[in-house]
């Protein structure tokens, strides 16, 4: 009787415990289910957000180099995010307009719009339509226009106004056309060389060929040779005591640079040849034996062609003839002697000069030589000169060759350029040795450059790099989380999901575990 009564008293309690366990297990499973869904949503959200396609953040710029003999257009591109406030810019296209430089359009400015059409249309096709309105366009005119401005300011203004009008008609963001100074031209070429050689930025990944050991090497100097002017630019060693406008200041990739840059107008290779001919005319009667042209070469020139710019004014006088006959004699040594007379090194009012009384600090470090230096020395296969002697031997042999033989050997070279290579090569040697005073022992420090990493070495890339300091960077389009944070969250949420699954299995199959806890 007592067992029956005791049994009846115990059963309800067991039933109550079982009901309570089932109730608790059901609610725990519901909570786990909602938690599982929440964590799963968080996991998917982090993955999708982190790996979403980033919006295109590529910017473009166009620079036109309006030189003395031609006009070239360059298209540059860079990421909207900048490195230390200066864009990482690369050249993606180039185009040369058919015809002479814009300075030759002084009396036919109505042709300038057509002259620029082909290259501008190429840029329109290359740059995405959505980027047209924000793509800046700059035109920089160099020595050809500087000469025209000196001779006829009104005509120069007319040319520049017509160029501006033409470029403004395109759907780009035209930022202006101007005649840049010679010092600017040299300095922007200096920026280009050091940028391409990896001397500015610390991001070696942009320059895969250059090792980290080379990152802190000296900044390069720049040597630019055009048709009407030549520039020399480098960072001087020590403090400059002389008061000179040739020291320029740049902020690039978070660093300040004080740079010496001077342009010698009328000492580009084309104008230098006219200066030499004008000088030598003074002692002739209309027939000139010219050592800088090949034996057998003969050409008749009008005096008006020789004296067409003010570069030859110092040798201008009344001649009894209107034409001169040039007869080549092909003598390198005589050619070199005649050219050296163009550089007046007898007078220097400063501690150190280049020539013609122009201040220049002493040469320092390695130099990159481009434009005319490259075109001429590439013809002679002297872009990797081991010594001055090698260059002299090659030029002596080339200048002495008969003109007929030279024409047959280099039949694919335009005759105007071919006839002037003897002079141009000799002039480069004289300019470097007599003009800039490079010691013969330092010849290996001059690196002749055409292109580096598919970008032309010239002032336009440096111009674009400097101008990107003025273009605000777009909002940084990077992943919202760092890689380490992303990995941590993915692992953390995954572990929570695994724990919730294990917990739900235990609750569902072995609810008695919770009964023990409740007891």
Q: How many CB atoms neighbour CB 89 within 10 A?
A: 23
Q: From start to end of 38-88, where are the E strands?
A: 58-66, 71-79
Three-state DSSP class for residue 35: helix
CA atoms within 13 A on the CB side of 171: 12
Phi and psi for 288 in degrees, rounded to 5? -120, 120
Buried b (16+ CB within 10 A) or exposed e, 356-389: eebbbbebbebbbbbbbbbbbbebbebbebeebe
Helix-then-strand count for the chain, H and E: 15, 16
Residue 325 designated active-site: no
Residue whose C-alpha is closest to residue 278's, from 244, 310, 230: 310
CA angle 98, 174, 90 (to 5 degrees): 70
Q: Among the residues of 401-455, which ranges form H helices? A: 403-409, 415-430
Q: In sequence order, what are the residues at sequence separation of 6 or more whose Cβ sits closer than 8 angstroms to the Cβ of residue 245?
A: 183
What sign does the dihedral 235-240-243-249 (CA atoms) show?
A: positive
- In whole angstroms, give the CA distance from residue 350 to residue 135: 45
- In whole angstroms, give the CA distance from residue 52 to residue 10: 63
Q: In sequence order, what are the residues at sequence separation of 6 or more whose Cβ sits closer than 8 angstroms to the Cβ of residue 143?
A: 67, 68, 182, 185, 226, 227, 228, 229, 263, 265, 268
- In whole angstroms, give the CA distance from residue 313 to residue 145: 18
Q: What angle in degrees, to the nearest 10, is found between the helix axes of 415-430 and 332-340?
A: 60
Q: Distance between alpha carbon 423 and the CA centroid of its chain, in Å? A: 30
- In whole angstroms, give the CA distance from residue 178 to residue 222: 23
Residue whose C-alpha is closest to residue 70's, from 109, 107, 98: 98
Q: Which residue in the list 154, 185, 290, 474 is annotated as catalytic?
A: 185
Three-state DSSP class for residue 334: helix
Residues marked active site are found at 185
């Amino acid at each position: 009787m007592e067992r029956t009564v005791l049994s009846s008293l115990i059963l309800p309690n067991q039933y109550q415990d079982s009901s309570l366990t089932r109730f608790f297990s059901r609610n725990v499973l519901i909570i786990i289910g909602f938690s599982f869904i929440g964590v799963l949503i968080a996991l998917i959200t982090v993955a999708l957000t982190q790996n979403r396609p980033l919006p295109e953040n590529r910017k473009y710029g166009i620079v036109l180099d309006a030189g003395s003999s031609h006009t070239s257009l360059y298209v540059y591109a860079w990421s909207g995010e900048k490195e230390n406030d200066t864009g990482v810019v690369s050249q993606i296209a180039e185009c040369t307009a058919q015809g002479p430089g814009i300075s030759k359009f002084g009396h036919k400015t109505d042709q300038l719009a057509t002259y620029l059409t082909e290259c501008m249309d190429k840029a329109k096709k290359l740059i995405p339509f959505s980027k047209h309105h924000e793509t800046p366009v700059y035109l920089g005119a160099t020595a050809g226009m500087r000469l025209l401005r000196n001779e006829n300011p009104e005509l120069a203004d007319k040319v520049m106004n017509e160029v501006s009008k033409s470029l403004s008609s395109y759907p780009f963001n035209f930022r202006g056309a101007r005649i840049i100074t010679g010092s600017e031209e040299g300095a922007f070429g200096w920026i280009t060389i050091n940028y391409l050689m990896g001397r500015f930025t610390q991001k070696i990944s942009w320059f895969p060929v250059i090792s980290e050991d080379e990152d802190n090497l000296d900044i390069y100097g720049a040597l630019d040779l055009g048709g009407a002017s030549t520039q020399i630019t480098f960072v001087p060693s020590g403090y400059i005591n002389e008061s000179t406008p040739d020291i320029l200041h740049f902020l690039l990739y978070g660093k300040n640079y004080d740079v010496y840059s001077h342009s010698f107008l009328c000492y580009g290779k084309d104008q230098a040849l006219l200066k030499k001919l004008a000088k030598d005319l003074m002692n002739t009667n209309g027939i000139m034996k010219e050592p800088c042209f090949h034996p057998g070469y003969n050409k008749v020139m009008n005096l008006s062609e020789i004296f067409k710019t003010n570069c030859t004014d110092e040798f201008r006088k009344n001649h009894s003839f209107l034409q001169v006959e040039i007869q080549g004699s092909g003598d390198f040594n005589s050619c070199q002697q005649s050219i050296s007379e163009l550089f007046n090194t007898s007078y220097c009012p400063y501690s150190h000069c280049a020539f013609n009384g122009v201040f220049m600090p002493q040469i320092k470090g390695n130099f990159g030589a481009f434009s005319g230096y490259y075109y001429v020395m590439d013809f002679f296969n002297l872009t990797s000169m081991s010594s001055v002697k090698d260059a002299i031997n090659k030029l002596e042999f080339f200048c002495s060759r008969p003109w007929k033989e030279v024409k047959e050997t280099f039949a694919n070279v335009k005759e105007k350029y071919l006839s002037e290579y003897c002079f141009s090569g000799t002039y480069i040697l004289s300019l470097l040795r007599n003009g800039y005073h490079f010691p013969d022992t330092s010849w290996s420090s001059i690196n002749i450059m055409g292109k580096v990493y598919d970008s032309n070495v010239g002032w336009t890339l440096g111009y674009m790099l400097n101008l990107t300091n003025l273009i605000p960077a777009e909002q940084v389009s990077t992943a919202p989380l760092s890689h380490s944070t992303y990995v941590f969250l993915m692992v953390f949420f995954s572990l929570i999901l695994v724990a919730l699954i294990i917990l739900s299995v235990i609750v569902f199959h072995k609810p008695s575990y919770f009964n023990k806890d409740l007891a």
